[in-house]
Amino acid sequence: MCTLILGVDVTGSETVIAGANRDEDPARPSDPPLVLLPDPRVVGGRDRRAGGTWLAVREARALVAMLNRRDGGAAPGARRSRGLLALETAGVRASGAGAALARAALDHARAGLAQGEYAPFSMVFATPGACWMLAHEPGRPPRVAEVSAGWHVLTHTELDDPAEPRAARLMRELAGFAPASIEAASRGLAERLRQHGEGPGDAVCVHEGRMVTVSSSRVWLAPGRAGYVHVEGRPCVSPESDLTPLLAATPRVPERA
């Protein structure tokens, strides 16, 4: 995934809203969002080649996003999939919610990072009441930052990086964005995820180059409520689907005697 827009408490206390575009080589096979783990229930897209995910929602309670950072290190064959670490972090065995769940997820991510070699990444874990970002660059200690209330943008560099054209453009636009509801915030993110370039390197919906926008998602979380909308294809031209029902387990129907 290459662009993440994250709003923490922007529509009220203990709310999270995220919009994300995935930029990838169209030849790399992947599955649109599906149930990745049954218990805890984790829903997200799946990379068919490595089996991991770039964006996952856990039990309508938390969001995990994995973004690649620029890489100049060892050959990819020597490294474990970053998407697998994201999936495992989303599926961490932990009770509770909010800060307790976020702490358990961070402990799990750190332990997984210490046990394998990974290409550079930024991973975000967001749940109503707590949000963190873990940055990994080989040869340097991992860096953890608490994500504060407000609008944030993450691409392939640092959080809210003013030197990254896409992030700088989005942060300028979000500076005056004060939606009255989660639904209004989601509509605003949809508009921004469809944007093409105004200047060098600032396109959010990317059409040119080897890595282009292949899908887009919006997720919102609040105590007792959640929503998940997905676009398979470029968000500027492709229809969206409401995947919120996937977040809830289907009740089991008793068999008749």
Residue 155 CA to residue 84 CA, distance in Å, equals 19
According to the model, what pLDDT value does residue 95 have?
A: 80
According to the model, what pLDDT value does residue 1 have?
A: 74
Contact 88, 94 (CB under 8 A): no
Q: For the chain, which residues make up each domain, given as ranges?
A: 3-247
According to the model, what pLDDT value does residue 34 have?
A: 97
Residue 108 CA to residue 62 CA, distance in Å, equals 15
- Is the pTM higher than 0.85? yes
Tell which residue, 194, 177, 257, has the closest CA to residue 6.
Answer: 177
Residues of the chain with pLDDT under 70: 72-77, 249-257
Class of CATH domain 3-247: alpha beta
Instruction: Give residue-wise pLDDT tens across range 81-138.
Output: 999 999 999 999 988 789 999 999 999 999 999 999 999 999 999 999 999 999 999 9
Report long-range pairs for 110-115 (Cβ below 8 Å, ≥24 apart). Answer: 110/134, 110/142, 110/144, 112/85, 112/88, 113/85, 113/142
Say which residues have a Cβ less than 8 Å from residue 37's Cβ, sequence separation at least 6: 87, 90, 91
Tell me the longest C-alpha to C-alpha distance in the chain: 67
Residue 67 CA to residue 221 CA, distance in Å, equals 20
Q: Distances in Å between the alpha carbon of 212 and those of 24, 127, 148, 159, 179?
A: 6, 29, 30, 21, 29
According to the model, what pLDDT value does residue 97 have?
A: 82
According to the model, what pLDDT value does residue 252 have?
A: 42
